[in-house]
Structure 1
Amino acid sequence: MSELDTAAAPAAPPIWKRYFWRNTASNYIRTITRLLLGLILFRLLFSGLSEAEFGFWSLLWSLFGYGVLLDFGFGFTAQKAVAEKSATGEWGELSRLLSTMLWTFVGLAAVLGLFFLAIGGLFLNAIEVPDVDYGMYRLAYLIFFAGLALTFPFGLFPEVLRGLQRIDIANWLNTGSVVLNFIGIALALYVGASFPVIVFVSVITTLLPNVGALFVAMRRLPEVSLSPRLFDWRVVKSQMGFSIAAYLITFSNLLMAKSDQAVLGFTLGVGVIAAYQAGYKVAEMLNLFTIQLQDALSPAAAHMNASGDSAGLRELLLKTSKLTFLITTPLYGLCAVYLEALIQLLTGLESIESDTVLVGQILLFAVFSSQLTNSCAKRILMMCGYEKKLLGLSLVDGLANLGISIALAFSFGMVGVALGTLIPTVLVGWLLVLPMALRYLDLGMLDYCKFILAAAAPVVLFVLCLAATVYWLPIPEEGGFIALAIRGGLSAGPAFIWILFKLRKLM
């Protein structure tokens, strides 16, 4: 047995192993449910609402997406604190910390509610809602932002469940909410309900999983109290450095995700954004599916770090990195080989520009490289005291992305903007992030690569099956979902079946 493997199996597997597969499976079920029902609901809303109502709806929910910036990193801090304090049994300090966060959020929610109430008239006038329906839009506005204010403090409790490494419970609550949201809005549209009623249904079903998480989390933490009497800002101050770093990393990642469109708009004009987005979408989907594997790493790393379990942290990085490699490589290979057909499927375009395909290939490789270097390492380092160094790397990555994208946009068009994403992603990941994680865990790069590649037999099988499928069953010109599904199954199916039967050995 390799020195990198654990010497002897413990009597009971660690918490992260016990819940890893149910957490991961529930992640994928939640994601697929949201994607499928979201696509159907988009079509229903697009056809069931007026143009002005649909635009107002889209604007409100786009603003909701920026609500992640309003927690100031406290949500991630709560996840880390719950994982650490539950490992050490510091229930009194955890009670003070969660109580302070909760009642701080309640106060911020009240301020937010009053703020949006005060600017309601200015907001509605600024976006020029139709005068004849002004009262209807104002009511919808008030319902939406009242719901947003209520959702804000309750959003702490899914993070508590994550800290307890019960991500599966948070996922099932969220999945149930998505289904209820779909049923409620579909019924409201079917019976011809007014626009404010549709907004109300959407807001309530968004709030429900967070309320459910409150009750489930507190049942699992009977030693913890959330009394306002426990409010103690000094406890939060001890976590402030981590909170600020987590917040700034989230903020920089959000800006980086949106920067390509801004660079394209200001350098080449808005006309090229649609063509770029067509290539970007497949890479976005690959990233969405592969990141589900690492969702459980952060609380597991925090728990082990608090327990001083260095061997467990090494095992966590090695085995989850190996699994990420085995799952991501076939998915990346399929996307790269069938990229043009996938873009046609997602966009409905009959012909795809060569630059759009090249953008897609560049961004796909950027996602693939990031998964191999950043996805596991960053989550573990973040929970082990490296948040400030990771913040510095995020800023370097973001500034390099912006600078290179602008410089290359004038020479290479939208392909240059895609290269501006790829170059810093590869360099920062392979030269800085992964080596930092390996040094912290006292692992050598050569030993790390040997450990990952020792289980590469399913990847070799995938390459052989893909080559045979491409040669013997070339995809027809019209492409289509069924054609892609058949070829994807023939190419990757045998490899994934192999991985499925070897999961116990792999993990």
Structure 2
Amino acid sequence: MSRTRHRSIVNVGTTATVAVLRACEGLIIVAYLLRVLGTETFGIWALISTMAAYLLILDLGVVGALGRLLAGCRGANDIEGFNRTLSTALTLLTGAGAVTLLVAFAMAEIFPLVFHVPDHQLADVRGALLIAGVWAALYFPTSIFDVVLWSHERFDLSNLVEMPVIAIRLCLILLLIHEGSPLTHLAGIGLATNVATVVLTAACAWWVEPRLRPVPGVLSRAALREIYPIGFWFSALSVARSLTQQVGTTLVGHSLGNRAVATFTIARQLTTYCATVMLSLTQIAAPRAAVYFFGRRGDEQKILFVGGGRAATALALFFVGGFLSLGAQFISIWQGGRQDAAFVPLVVLLLGEAFPMAQGVTYSILTAMGRHQTLARFAMMEGLCTLCVAAAVVRPFGILGVCYAVAISATVFRGLCPWLLTCRLLDVTPLAYLRYAVFPVAAVWAAATAAISLTAAEWPVRGWVSLIGYGALYAAIYLPACAFIILGREALGPAKDLIRRLRIT
């Protein structure tokens, strides 16, 4: 097995593991916090998390542009250009961190004016917002180390750092957060574990590239000319997507109250977990897409687009089918019957995210081709459409109206538009893509989802054991069939090896 293939397998394996661990951590924490904090306080915490996410848009696209530029320097073995670009980005991101801290102070004062906060929680909420602002300010300059690992395709190291941190953060929350605990304690745990992640990631970055020399205060004109043409549109893309991601929670909290935020957050969070797993797996293709583009390897770009799209579609439909057939039972058991109303919003959001989740490789290809401007325009149109439609329907139609606004905008502007653009750029007909990448997988998905839904209707889920059993049955039906469609005869290789070894034994 080649070194590149081995590295890709390790990257996929560790990334999938981290994505699953994050999802499990989130499921446990959400259920626990809802129980110990109560619906009202949990809704406030969800809004604080939303405000913290808004702060992360202030990097002006430098982080996104840096990854692409460092990958190019590495491909050209230009360590001088690598360090020059990295140092310039560090200086810019340090300034962004300082601005972020000032914005966080202002946000802490404005928050109680926009959302309902009980008088006895005002100081606690402001403190939690300031802690979140401190982390956002630290995130910008320290994110360069994660980008260094990204540019070297060392996702495995990033993931190995993340795994123990996830476990430690979960244990700290379960041990230290109880009924009546202040939100500042919760924010402090997040800050401490994030700082630990940064320190370990920096050590890994220097181990991978000992010649790394980031110098704060350096501003290279050549590096600025490279960063800002890309960074401007990366910034627009980042801002638009972040606003789109958070606008639903903000509108629900402002118009419907903190309890409605909790219900919407359940549906939104489960959808986000699925999208995060997909993003974690498909971003592995980003450095390879950059290599193919800069190397003018058009045929390999087409193979990556169609073959990667087929694998991404299979994974996206796996999540959608699982929640369609077992989502209602899962939410009921997970939340003890307190948030059953979140199932229908979850279905709407997941159906809207299905095609966008399947286009993760498409996004990597367009980014490598320098189509940030077009992606940013799509993202801005998605955000504008979501905001306008959701604001118009939130009061008459409630949470479900907001979900439809989010879902339709995502399907059109984050799914169909980038996909059609890439088909045109790579000279792949949409029908050929659908016939090769979507239809075979969709047929397996429909059969597996129908089988599990009918079985669960005949023999209802009674608890965690039967739910896990149904989930395992769904995976056993769906995943091997999709693996055979995606890999062909190569999918039978491990089984043949096992049979051969058993015969020898």
TM-score by length of 1: 0.78
1:186-201 equivalences in 2 (<5 Å): none
Separation (CA, whole Å) in 2 of partners of 1:352 and 1:462: 25
2:346 alignment counterpart: 360
**TM-fit CA distance, 1:435:** 1.5
Contact map agreement 1:96 1:232 (CA 8 A) in 2 = yes
2:8 alignment counterpart: 20
2:471 alignment counterpart: 488
For residue 294 of structure 1, the aligned residue among 276, 282, 287 is 282
2:369 alignment counterpart: 384
**TM-fit CA distance, 1:264:** 4.6
Output one character per residue of 1:265-316: Cα deviation in whole Å (capped at 9) or x when no partner: 6677777555545554543343333333212122222232222222222222
Separation (CA, whole Å) in 2 of partners of 1:264 and 1:144: 22
Contact map agreement 2:55 2:104 (CA 8 A) in 1 = no
1:19-418 equivalences in 2 (<5 Å): 19-38=7-26, 40=28, 63-109=51-97, 115=102, 149-183=137-171, 202-228=190-216, 231-264=219-252, 273-349=261-337, 352=340, 357-372=343-358, 374-407=359-392, 413-418=398-403
Output one character per residue of 1:34-89: Cα deviation in whole Å (capped at 9) or x when no partner: 34345555677788899999999877765543342232211111211121111122
2:499 alignment counterpart: none
SS in 2 for 1:442: coil
**TM-fit CA distance, 1:434:** 1.0
Separation (CA, whole Å) in 1 of partners of 2:186 and 2:249: 31
Output one character per residue of 1:227-265: Cα deviation in whole Å (capped at 9) or x when no partner: 458541441232202112112212111211222344456
Contact map agreement 2:385 2:409 (CA 8 A) in 1 = yes
Residue type at the aligned position of 1:326: A
Contact map agreement 2:57 2:242 (CA 8 A) in 1 = no
Residue type at the aligned position of 1:366: G
Separation (CA, whole Å) in 1 of partners of 2:392 and 2:129: 42
Contact map agreement 2:382 2:414 (CA 8 A) in 1 = no
SS in 2 for 1:348: coil
**TM-fit CA distance, 1:387:** 0.6
SS in 2 for 1:239: helix
**TM-fit CA distance, 1:470:** 3.8
Q: Residues 90 and 186 from structure 1, CA distance in 2 versus in 1: closer, same or farther, beyond 3 angstroms?
A: same
**TM-fit CA distance, 1:186:** 5.7
Output one character per residue of 1:5-42: Cα deviation in whole Å (capped at 9) or x when no partner: xxxxxx957x4x54333223222322332343455556
Moved more, 443-452 or 75-84: 443-452
Contact map agreement 1:279 1:359 (CA 8 A) in 2 = yes
Separation (CA, whole Å) in 1 of partners of 2:321 and 2:39: 40
SS in 2 for 1:403: helix
Separation (CA, whole Å) in 1 of partners of 2:104 and 2:322: 50
Separation (CA, whole Å) in 2 of partners of 1:110 and 1:253: 23
TM-score by length of 2: 0.79
Contact map agreement 1:282 1:343 (CA 8 A) in 2 = no
Contact map agreement 1:185 1:202 (CA 8 A) in 2 = no
Say which one has the larger Rg. Answer: 1
Between the two proteins, the alignment pairs up a number of residues equal to 486
Contact map agreement 2:55 2:133 (CA 8 A) in 1 = no
Contact map agreement 1:304 1:310 (CA 8 A) in 2 = yes
**TM-fit CA distance, 1:325:** 1.8
1:4 alignment counterpart: none
Q: Residues 262 and 147 from structure 1, CA distance in 2 versus in 1: closer, same or farther, beyond 3 angstroms?
A: closer
Q: Residues 461 and 255 from structure 1, CA distance in 2 versus in 1: closer, same or farther, beyond 3 angstroms?
A: closer
1:446 aligns with 2:435: no
Separation (CA, whole Å) in 2 of partners of 1:279 and 1:489: 22
Q: Which runs of 5+ in 2 are unaligned?
A: 492-505
**TM-fit CA distance, 1:323:** 0.6
Separation (CA, whole Å) in 1 of partners of 2:478 and 2:237: 36
SS in 1 for 2:457: coil
CA RMSD of aligned residues (A): 4.4
2:502 alignment counterpart: none
Contact map agreement 1:286 1:331 (CA 8 A) in 2 = yes
Residue type at the aligned position of 2:437: I
Residue type at the aligned position of 1:341: Q
Contact map agreement 1:52 1:129 (CA 8 A) in 2 = no
Q: Which runs of 5+ in 1 are unaligned?
A: 1-10
Contact map agreement 1:362 1:419 (CA 8 A) in 2 = yes
